[in-house]
């Protein structure tokens, strides 16, 4: 079990380094992109960590593979179960396929069709549920008990956190290669696995960089929790088109890490996310889903304090084609 005794955190830098070695055969080292015209327009240097170019279209393969590769042969034969709105689903399905394990994925019926289709294409069995009337954790637990499946949680697991933390290792290494010392790193935040893991790696490798988590304005559970000093949820009826970031409450395991290592929680509107999607496509030639564009939206809409050099994690690109086309056709980049 990963541990960090010195800090009493669920993972430490050694766990993240070990995860990087495990996932190296599967996960890509995604590029750190920038555009001089965009930098001139913004008045600061923006580096975008393009996890939208990762296998399965998001960072999620990192944690999923790090978790499943450590199962023993008997556990792999029994298979795994996960619950997800789409990106974790695809990461688990792909990792399970590579490692020869059956996978069952519990997904909301209103998840983007592309994410459901891709999850099935990787060989997983998809079980749909109503996110407003049913509990995905309960469904996953029931399937695990009935079929003897191993649960692969989306964020509250040390192996998942360590795998996602490899994003932070890469950011630090790529900045060093560029001779850059970023002032801040902005990270999209749902349940907090990416934020907790990446912040842990950055604290060890880029300790001077400020870390800000970014959420949709209506789903700002982490920002609210940071302000309250304990985990709180979003109000009933909250909505956002950032489907990848609609976790109603920070993770029990991830929040203490975020509370300790993150400078602040930032929020963006759906309209600001649309501008970020158009900007990413127009300047960097990458496709971002709404949830994958929130950190970039916070950077280009000046939600963070003024910094000279900012890294924004573009966490995913699994967007419905019709939604993406409508967004870039009706929204101007910055």
Widest pairwise Cα distance in the chain: 57
Q: Which residue has the tokens 């976790």?
A: 247
Token pair for residue 14? 């050694």
Total number of domains constituting the chain: 2
Same domain, 39 and 164: yes
Per-residue model confidence as pLDDT tens for the chain (334 residues): 454 444 579 999 999 999 999 999 999 999 999 999 999 999 999 999 999 999 999 999 999 999 999 999 999 999 999 999 889 999 999 999 999 999 999 999 998 888 999 999 999 999 999 988 999 889 999 999 999 999 999 999 999 999 999 999 999 999 999 999 999 999 999 999 999 999 999 999 999 999 999 999 999 999 999 999 999 999 888 999 999 999 999 999 999 999 999 999 999 999 999 999 999 999 999 999 999 999 999 999 999 999 999 999 999 999 999 999 999 999 999 9
DSSP 2: -
Token pair, residue 169, equals: 């290792």
231 and 206 in one domain? yes
- Strand (E) positions, 217-260? none
β-strands 45-50, 32-33 pairing? antiparallel
Inside any domain, residue 279: yes
Helix (H, G, I), strand (E, B), or coil: what is residue 293?
Answer: helix
The last residue of a domain, from among 136, 156, 176: 156
Q: What is the CATH number of the domain that holds 290?
A: 3.40.50.1100
Regarding whether 264 and 117 lie in a shared domain, the answer is no
Q: Which domain holds residue 90?
A: 60-156
Residues 6+ apart with CB under 8 A from 264: 212, 213, 223, 226
The Cα 196–Cα 234 span in angstroms is 20
If asked whether residues 120 and 92 sit together in one domain, one would say: yes
Give domain status of residue 7, yes or no. no
Is residue 7 within 8 A of residue 259, CB to CB? The reply is: no
């Amino acid at each position: 079990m990963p541990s960090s005794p010195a800090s009493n955190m669920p993972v430490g830098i050694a766990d993240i380094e070990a995860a990087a070695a495990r996932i190296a055969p599967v996960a890509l080292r995604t590029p750190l992109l920038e555009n001089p015209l965009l930098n001139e327009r913004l008045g600061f240097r923006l580096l975008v960590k393009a996890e939208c170019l990762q296998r399965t279209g998001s960072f999620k393969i990192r944690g999923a593979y790090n978790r499943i590769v450590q199962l023993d042969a008997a556990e792999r034969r029994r298979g795994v179960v996960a619950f997800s709105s789409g990106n974790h689903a695809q990461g688990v399905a792909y990792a399970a396929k590579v490692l020869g394990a059956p996978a069952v994925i519990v997904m909301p019926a209103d998840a983007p069709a592309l994410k459901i289709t891709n999850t099935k294409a990787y060989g997983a069995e998809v079980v749909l549920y109503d996110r407003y009337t049913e509990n995905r954790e309960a469904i996953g637990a029931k399937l695990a008990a009935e079929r003897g499946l191993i649960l692969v949680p989306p964020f509250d697991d040390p192996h998942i956190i360590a795998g996602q933390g490899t994003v932070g290792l890469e950011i630090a290494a790529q900045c060093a290669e560029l001779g850059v010392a970023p002032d801040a790193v902005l990270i999209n935040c749902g349940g907090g696995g990416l934020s907790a893991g990446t912040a842990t790696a950055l604290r060890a490798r880029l300790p001077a960089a400020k870390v800000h988590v970014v959420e949709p304005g209506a789903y700002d559970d982490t920002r609210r929790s940071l302000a309250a000093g304990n985990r709180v949820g979003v109000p009933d009826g909250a909505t956002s088109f950032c489907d990848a970031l609609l976790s109603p409450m920070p993770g029990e395991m991830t929040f203490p890490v975020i509370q300790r290592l993150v400078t602040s929680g930032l929020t963006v509107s759906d309209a600001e996310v649309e501008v970020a999607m158009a900007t990413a496509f127009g300047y960097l030639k990458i496709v971002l889903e709404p949830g994958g564009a929130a950190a970039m939206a916070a950077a280009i809409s000046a939600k963070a304090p003024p910094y000279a050099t900012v890294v924004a994690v573009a966490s995913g690109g699994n967007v419905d084609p019709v939604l993406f086309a409508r967004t870039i056709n009706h929204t101007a980049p910055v």
